[in-house]
Structure 1
Amino acid sequence: MIGDILLDVVLPIFVLIGFGALMHRAFRLDLYTLAKINFYYVTPAVVFLSMYQSEMSPELLGSVTGFYILYVLALYGVSMLVSRRLKFSRGMKAAFTNSLILDNSGNYGLPVNELAFKGDPLASSLQALIMTFQSLVTFTYGVMSVQRAKSGGTLKAALIGFLKMPVPYALVLGMVFHVLHLPLPYFISKPLGYIADSMVAIALLTLGAQIVKYPLRLDRLDVYISVALRLLVAPLIGYAIILLLGLRGIPAQALLIASGMPSGVNSTILAEEYGNEPDFASQTVLISTILNIITITALISLAKYVG
């Protein structure tokens, strides 16, 4: 069982991440352009098709929304307790919280979901919804937390940044087309399918190029605390909420796996953009992604017994 998951799900993902790392070492890939391709080209197509082809009922949509709200609030509470106990500065508290609540549900989570559930439409739409919620949190709370830590940013600036993102519009449009049973013309559906099919390769190549940018360091206790909370405590919180909401089957399995993603690259991007603990942020992303080989294998194995 575990061997099959390693060979069929985890190993393909890290092979592609490795290719991205090697290509960046050899050619110094333009990370800005790669990020734009993922964010404005590939991800909106995946999100739109996931919601358009979704088998998610309104009741399940409400349950997933409730799950995510409780999940983020619980992680925020944990981060505040730890930050207070360790007497973090204002800037470090913001970076630490972002490392917990901003996970890599996009260019890592979507491929994991795709391989673990073999392209199941319901599982894909659940992960696409979680990724959209992550984008909302990233460009509202995530941005505001580092802005306020450094220069007193405003809610208005964060919301403007969020409204510039294509993913929420793709999500809403996909849901509208799904609910109204609107057919997609072939000249639209076929290109969207081609773009979506490229998601796994492009997203993981980009992730490999992003994480190899940062040199590995093993001398920061706060990084290990963050990684332990992100990879071990976060899935336990996710599982408790799944039980609380009475979720079963594929929704329970997909949400449990989604709760075990490594820290997101966006936390590093925000840290670099505002000069707020960039070394801490980069180390949490790098180390949590490496150790996720072990934890995501265990989660996928355990998910079969959830619900």
Structure 2
Amino acid sequence: MNEFIFIFANIILPIGLIVATGYIIQLKFGLDRSTLAKLSIHYVMPAFIFMSLYESSIDFALLINVMLFLIIYAAASFIVVKLIARLLGLSQDRTVLFTNSNLFYNAGNYGVPVNDLVFRSDPYAMSIQVMMVVFQNMFAFSYGIFSLSAKNVGRTKALLGYFKMPIFYGLVLGLTFNYFNIQIPAPVETSLDYMRSAMIGLVVFILGAQIAGIKFRRLRWSALAGALSRLLIGPVLAIGLLLLFNIEGVVAQAILITTAMPAAVNSAIIAQEYSDDPEYAAEIVMMSTLLSALTVSSVIYIALAIF
């Protein structure tokens, strides 16, 4: 119990305080959430991803294996969550929202600061986290959009839009510079370090502001089931697969902790654009984020204990 309280107080609570700050400031001042998102996507996240990969001692074979694991995990999650949705008797549109909210977890705004605190800024652990962030972004803006009707810009155009995002090039350049041991000029490296240092506080603040912008009028039991399946079934399934594939140590810990993250705000944003019932996705995001304070603390404890 003492270790659980320590984890909650030193990892989850600091993040929660910044989220709450973003939430309150958004309610008070009505910040432009689109501009905040652009700051994250076009400013700090690309620099953070680039520097995390650039400075890491990367085992490229391991990272490929991590990506393969994430694909298998996503496929297994899809099957399990689809079965749950069928048992709940959800409509087709709501089943897609229920499924997406479970497949897309908050590896970035929530997972990155948790990883930073749990592993004490270990670049190796963060390189695993970065791969999960990139996988989740690509997955959300590919399958997430294809799974719903692209009413505005069309599926192909929406998918291709991801490859215009600086996050993608932060990944590619970070891996390239690391693999070929390309040195960047000292002034550029200093600038990127400053940008990376701003990342944690900014993206967690933005998470709070994004949550404040999620509006819903009711609370449905099936949405609560969706939140609980994301927070409980997600990590249980990850544990089973990690043991099956004999993945251990920091890699297993980082993967397990991230799979316990709440539903990503992206799932609600995509639903807002492409679904007739966006409130349903918003309910799952909100409830899973609130409940995650307890569940993520528990999963951190379990991850450090068994791997």
Q: Specify the alignment match of 1:33 in structure 2.
A: 35
Asked whether the 8 Å contact 2:128–2:251 carries over to 1, the reply is yes
Secondary structure of the residue aligned to 1:147 is coil
Q: Specify the alignment match of 2:274 in structure 1.
A: 274
Asked whether the 8 Å contact 2:216–2:279 carries over to 1, the reply is no
Residues 1:234 and 2:234 are matched in the alignment: yes
Task: Render the CA deviation track for 1:193-218: whole Å, top value 9, x for unaligned.
Answer: 11111111111111111112235766
Secondary structure of the residue aligned to 1:146 is coil
Q: Specify the alignment match of 1:302 in structure 2.
A: 302
Alpha-carbon spacing, 1:129–1:118, altered in 2? closer, same or farther (3 Å): same
Residues 1:114 and 2:145 are matched in the alignment: no
Q: Specify the alignment match of 1:42 in structure 2.
A: 44
Q: Given residue 133 of structure 1, which amino acid in structure 2 is its aligned partner?
A: F
Residues 1:3 and 2:5 are matched in the alignment: yes
Correspondence 1:169-180 to 2 at 5 A: 169-180=169-180
Q: Specify the alignment match of 1:203 in structure 2.
A: 203
Q: Specify the alignment match of 1:68 in structure 2.
A: 70
Correspondence 1:107-146 to 2 at 5 A: 107-146=109-148
Gaps of 5+ in 1: none
Secondary structure of the residue aligned to 2:124 is helix
Q: How many residues align?
A: 305
Alpha-carbon spacing, 1:217–1:118, altered in 2? closer, same or farther (3 Å): farther
RMSD between superposed Cα atoms in Å? 1.7
Q: Specify the alignment match of 2:244 in structure 1.
A: 244
Q: Given residue 201 of structure 1, which amino acid in structure 2 is its aligned partner?
A: G
Correspondence 1:213-224 to 2 at 5 A: 213-215=213-215, 219-224=219-224
Asked whether the 8 Å contact 1:103–1:134 carries over to 2, the reply is yes
Q: Given residue 298 of structure 2, which amino acid in structure 1 is its aligned partner?
A: A
Task: Render the CA deviation track for 1:134-187: whole Å, top value 9, x for unaligned.
Answer: 011011100111226x68954x23431221222121111101111111112111
- Provide the identity percentage: 37
Q: Specify the alignment match of 2:160 in structure 1.
A: 160
Asked whether the 8 Å contact 2:215–2:279 carries over to 1, the reply is no
Cα drift, residue 291 of structure 1: 0.5
Asked whether the 8 Å contact 1:234–1:259 carries over to 2, the reply is yes
Cα drift, residue 53 of structure 1: 1.5
Asked whether the 8 Å contact 1:95–1:271 carries over to 2, the reply is yes
Cα drift, residue 127 of structure 1: 0.6
Runs of 4+ that moved beyond 4 A: 150-153, 215-218
Cα drift, residue 227 of structure 1: 0.8
Q: Specify the alignment match of 1:262 in structure 2.
A: 262
> TM-score under structure 1 normalisation?
0.95
Secondary structure of the residue aligned to 2:149 is helix
Correspondence 1:86-101 to 2 at 5 A: 86-101=88-103
Q: Distance in 1 between matches of 2:118 and 2:259?
A: 14
Asked whether the 8 Å contact 1:108–1:204 carries over to 2, the reply is yes
Task: Render the CA deviation track for 1:30-63: whole Å, top value 9, x for unaligned.
Answer: 1000001011111111111111122231221122
Task: Render the CA deviation track for 1:212-260: whole Å, top value 9, x for unaligned.
Answer: 2235766301111111110000001111111122111110110110110
Q: Given residue 207 of structure 2, which amino acid in structure 1 is its aligned partner?
A: L
Cα drift, residue 20 of structure 1: 0.4
Greater CA deviation, 84-93 or 22-31?
84-93
Q: Distance in 2 between matches of 1:10 and 1:128?
A: 20
Gaps of 5+ in 2: none
Q: Specify the alignment match of 1:16 in structure 2.
A: 18
Q: Given residue 244 of structure 2, which amino acid in structure 1 is its aligned partner?
A: L
Secondary structure of the residue aligned to 1:107 is coil
Q: Distance in 2 between matches of 1:24 and 1:192?
A: 28
Q: Given residue 238 of structure 1, which amino acid in structure 2 is its aligned partner?
A: A
Cα drift, residue 283 of structure 1: 1.0
Alpha-carbon spacing, 1:271–1:216, altered in 2? closer, same or farther (3 Å): closer
